[in-house]
């Protein structure tokens, strides 16, 4: 008998502020290769990509990250329904909308909700746990997957299992959820055999929506309306902004899982971590004989149990223990592993003070390619721009700045007002203030250029778009 094909729901809306400065609001942790060569989103999508087990996934992402998510899925050959959140309303509204999309596709839909920013080192063990949960989910239970703790910790929520469920080997009723307990209680829970709440769960879409409507109507109604009034935009499904914004912000755990009598748990071991901070990444990273995790151009001498990550500059530590050192192109973080979770509070303070590096990455992804800020001052800014083969920027103008473009690789087609011309390597062109202009890559290789901006105001919002292939006008 063929297995029921499950519709994966991949939640991709997190901001990952505890992993600053690598993760930022403009480019959060799910889009970073933090635990291997692929990004966390790509690993999550590939875990549920077997066509014999799964249908086309539904990925719920923030609208600002739509092109990043689409490109990363394309890179690994995964096709998905990309549903865009106009605003953040936590996981309950996102899951409610995704479940409604799944139910519209299949009245008997089973959905598997997974986070895009977790690490699972044993994908086969994860799939085995899903298989164990299928019988219970099929008869109307909402099955969450509980991970056997490797140690007592206050960083995760716990689940106390109850009586075994008839007809579902290895699945039990949920007796209680315990939210991030104090250390003494965490030790007691582990001794009692309680499991960590992994935040992944399996259920019939109809069951989940019914419980959401019963327990959290202020979420269920707006989420359903957001799907009903959704619009298509290129390859994306835009949830209706007004409807979705009306949803109460709440997590699925608080809104449903901790209140429903239908919750069940399938204990499992599949090497799970929510990598919620730098200390958690140290836990899952490969380490040398002294316990140091060294990622990127880095080194450690006479040091123990450190996490050192560098994206650009060579970074070294000497004679230290239990440190976290993270160096990006525009920021450096130094903290202890024991206090690394406090980075979230630091980022909130920096953002409130208007510090741009708190939320904006130096490397910015765009649907046509990317740019990186190299240098900036009071009236100038220098960027490195990469344009993908066959792509072009919008036809645009700037009210407050002029630009110089210097091609360092490839050939650019440049339009200035009514004139279009080709600019080759080691050639440059000047874009006067106020001129309508466009940059294109007509070639088959990436186009790299240096852009020098000069003017009284250099913000990204000084753009008037007249034509745009990506509907950003």
For 139-163, the pLDDT digits (tens) are 999 999 999 999 999 989 999 999 9
Name the one residue in this structure whose structure tokens are 């959820």.
177
Rounded to 10°, the helix 205-215/90-105 angle is: 140
Residues 446 and 323 in one domain: no
**Residue 473: per-residue pLDDT:** 66
Domain endpoint, select from 218, 244, 273? 273
| Nearest residue to 304 (alpha-carbon basis) of 285, 319, 326, 282 | 319
Residues 392 and 424 in one domain: yes
CA distance 360 to 357: 5
Query: Can you give the CATH number for the domain in which 397 is found?
Result: 2.60.120.10
| Nearest residue to 324 (alpha-carbon basis) of 338, 314, 311 | 338
* Average confidence (pLDDT) over 360-385: 91
363 versus 269: the higher-pLDDT residue is: 269
Residues 61 and 197 in one domain: yes
Cis peptide before 21 (omega within 30 of 0): yes
pLDDT band for 53, please (50, 70, 90 cuts): very high
Other beta carbons within 10 Å of 267: 19
Tally of domains within the chain: 3
Other beta carbons within 10 Å of 243: 21
Residues 269 and 282 in one domain: no
CA atoms within 13 A on the CB side of 249: 6
For 436-447, the pLDDT digits (tens) are 999 999 999 999
Domain range enclosing 217: 7-273
Residues 157 and 265 in one domain: yes
Query: Can you give the CATH number for the domain in which 82 is found?
Result: 3.90.550.10
In a domain, 291, yes or no: yes
Residue ranges with strand state E in 272-345: 272-273, 293-295, 298-301, 307-310, 315-318, 323-327, 332-336
List Cβ neighbours of 37 (8 Å cut-off, separation of 6 or more).
none
pTM for this one? 0.92
For 328-369, the pLDDT digits (tens) are 989 999 999 999 999 999 999 999 999 989 998 888 889 999
Is the predicted pLDDT of residue 1 greater than 60, yes or no? Answer: no
Residues 141 and 234 in one domain: yes
Residues 287 and 237 in one domain: no
| Nearest residue to 8 (alpha-carbon basis) of 77, 80, 107 | 80
In a domain, 357, yes or no: no
């Amino acid at each position: 008998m063929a297995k029921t094909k499950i519709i994966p729901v991949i939640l991709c809306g997190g901001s990952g502020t505890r992993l600053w400065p690598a993760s930022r609001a403009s480019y959060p942790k799910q889009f970073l290769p933090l635990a291997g060569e692929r990004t966390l989103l790509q690993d999550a999508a590939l875990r549920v990509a077997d066509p014999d087990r799964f249908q086309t996934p539904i990925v719920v992402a923030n609208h600002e990250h739509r092109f990043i998510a689409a490109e990363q899925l394309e890179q690994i050959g995964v096709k998905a329904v990309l549903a865009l959140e106009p605003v953040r309303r936590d996981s309950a509204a996102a899951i409610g909308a995704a479940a409604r999309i799944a139910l519209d596709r299949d009245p008997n839909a089973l959905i598997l909700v997974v986070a895009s920013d977790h690490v699972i080192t044993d994908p086969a063990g994860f799939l085995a746990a899903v298989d164990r949960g299928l019988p219970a989910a099929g008869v109307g239970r909402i099955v969450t997957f509980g991970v056997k703790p490797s140690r007592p910790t206050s960083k995760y929520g716990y689940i106390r299992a109850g009586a075994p469920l008839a007809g579902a080997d290895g699945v039990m009723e949920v007796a209680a959820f315990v939210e991030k307990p104090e250390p003494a209680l965490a030790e007691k829970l582990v001794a009692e055999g309680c499991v960590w709440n992994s935040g992944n769960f399996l259920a019939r879409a109809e069951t989940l929506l019914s419980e959401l409507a019963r327990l959290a109507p202020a979420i269920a109604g707006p989420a359903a309306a957001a799907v009903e009034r959704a619009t298509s935009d290129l390859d994306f499904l835009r949830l209706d902004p007004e409807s979705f914004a009306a949803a109460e912000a709440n997590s699925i755990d608080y809104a449903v899982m901790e209140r429903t009598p239908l919750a069940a748990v399938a204990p499992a071991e599949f090497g799970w971590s929510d990598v919620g901070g730098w200390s958690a990444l140290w836990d899952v990273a490969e380490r040398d004989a002294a316990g140091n995790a060294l990622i990127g151009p880095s080194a450690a001498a006479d040091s123990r149990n450190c996490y050192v990550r560098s994206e650009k500059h060579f970074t070294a530590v000497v004679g230290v223990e239990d440190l976290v050192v993270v160096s990006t192109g525009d920021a450096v973080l130094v903290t202890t592993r024991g206090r690394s979770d406090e980075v979230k509070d630091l980022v909130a303070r920096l953002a409130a003070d208007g510090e741009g590096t708190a939320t904006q990455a130096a490397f910015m992804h765009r649907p046509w390619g990317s740019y990186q800020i190299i240098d900036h001052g009071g009236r100038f800014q220098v960027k490195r721009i990469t344009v993908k083969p066959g792509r072009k920027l919008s036809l645009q103008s700037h009210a407050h700045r002029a630009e110089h473009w210097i091609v360092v690789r490839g050939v650019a087609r440049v339009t200035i007002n009514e004139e279009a011309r080709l600019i080759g390597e080691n050639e440059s062109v000047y874009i006067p203030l106020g001129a309508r202009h466009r940059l294109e890559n007509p070639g088959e290789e990436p186009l790299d250029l240096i852009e020098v901006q000069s003017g009284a105001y250099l913000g990204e919002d000084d753009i008037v778009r007249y034509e745009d292939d990506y509907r950003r006008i």
